[in-house]
């Protein structure tokens, strides 16, 4: 059981963000799935699509509008690997830890990125650009070792190449940020 995915303590920083959560965004989603049987997972998936994670306020909203029990929703959200209860970085790095990738040495690559970004599995970098995650299998086994950033899949990696890709993305993000300023 993936106990570590359940946050052990309430992060006050996150609660402070609550004012910025626009619950109106959920309206079309709720309209679509309200009163449909088996709607719990699609509702949670849709909510995560909107906010990048499932904020506490969204749970409360779903509870008041659809009548789904909070404990039931929390039970489902913590059961499946897909759901997040805290905000993720802009880019999610999914490191494939499937069999083929394992045999081809993906652990060394994950370690390299973990050192480079100074985060552990499931954590988000301080600059909120990256979240590093290990996943079971991305299904590109013949290109092992593989990682996926956003929708892009990178294959036949070495630790150096992976670091280079991540650095490049970070540099572009920083450039974009500076342009905005």
Partner 1 sequence: MKKATVIVGLGSCGLAAGAGKTYDEFHRIRQADKLDFDIKRTSCIGMCFREPLVEIIDDTGKYLYGSVDVKRVDEIIEKHIKNFSPIPEYIIDSEKYKSEDSAFFDGQVKITLRNCGHIDPESVDEYEQRGGYDAMRKISNANLSPDKVIQIVLESGIRGRGGGGFPAGMKWKFARNNVSDKKYVICNADEGDPGAFMDRSILEGDPHSVIEGMIICAYAIGASEGYIYCRAEYPLAIKRLNIALDQARSKGYLGENIFGIPGFSMEIHIKEGAGAFVCGEETALIASIEGERGMPRRRPPFPAESGLWKHPTNINNVETFANIPWIIYNGPEAYARYGTEKSKGTKVFALTGKIKHGGLVEVPMGITIKDIIYKLGGGIIGDKKFKAVQLGGPSGGCIPEYLSHIPVDYDRVNETGAIMGSGGMVVMDETTCVVDVARFFLDFTQKESCGKCTFCRIGTKRMLEILTRITEGEGKEDDIETLEEIAHTIKDSSLCGLGQTAPNPVLTTIKYFRDEYEAHIRDHKCPALSCKKLLTYEVIEENCTGCMACARGCPVDAIEGEKKQPHNILQDVCIQCGVCFTKCKFKAIRLS
Which residues lie below 8 Å from residue 8, measured CB to CB, with a gap of 6+? none
As measured in angstroms, the least distance from the Cβ of 66 to partner 1 is 11
Nearer to partner 1, 19 or 151 (CB): 151
**Size of site (CB under 8 A) for partner 1:** 42
* b/e per residue 9-36 (b: at least 16 CB within 10 A): eeeeeeeeeeeebebeebeebbeebeee
Nearer to partner 1, 13 or 49 (CB): 49
Supply angle C-alpha 134, 20, 25, rounded to 5: 80
Footprint (CB under 8 A) of partner 1, residues 85-144: 97-100, 102-104, 108, 135-144
Dihedral, CA of residue 90, residue 80, residue 107 and residue 154, to nearest 10: -50
Interface with partner 1, residue 38, by CB under 8 A:
yes
Interface with partner 1, residue 51, by CB under 8 A:
no
**Positions in the binding site for partner 1 (CB under 8 A):** 1-2, 37-42, 44-45, 75-76, 79-83, 97-100, 102-104, 108, 135-144, 146, 151, 153-156, 159
């Amino acid at each position: 059981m993936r106990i570590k995915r359940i946050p052990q303590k309430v992060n006050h920083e996150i609660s402070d963000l609550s004012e910025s959560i626009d619950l109106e965004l959920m309206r079309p989603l709720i309209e679509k799935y309200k009163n449909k049987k088996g709607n719990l997972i699609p509702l949670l998936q849709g909510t995560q699509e909107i906010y990048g994670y499932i904020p506490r306020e969204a749970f409360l909203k779903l509870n008041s509008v659809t009548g789904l029990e909070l404990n039931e929703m929390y039970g489902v959200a913590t059961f499946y690997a897909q759901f997040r209860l805290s905000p993720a970085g802009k880019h999610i790095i999914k490191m494939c830890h499937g069999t083929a990738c394992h045999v081809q040495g993906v652990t060394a690559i994950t370690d390299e990125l973990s050192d480079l970004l100074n985060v552990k599995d499931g954590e988000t970098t301080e600059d909120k650009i990256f979240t590093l995650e290990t996943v079971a299998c991305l299904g590109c086994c013949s290109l092992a070792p593989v990682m996926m950033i956003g929708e892009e899949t990178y294959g036949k990696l070495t630790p150096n190449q992976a670091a280079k890709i991540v650095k490049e993305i970070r540099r572009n993000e920083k450039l974009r940020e500076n342009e905005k300023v």
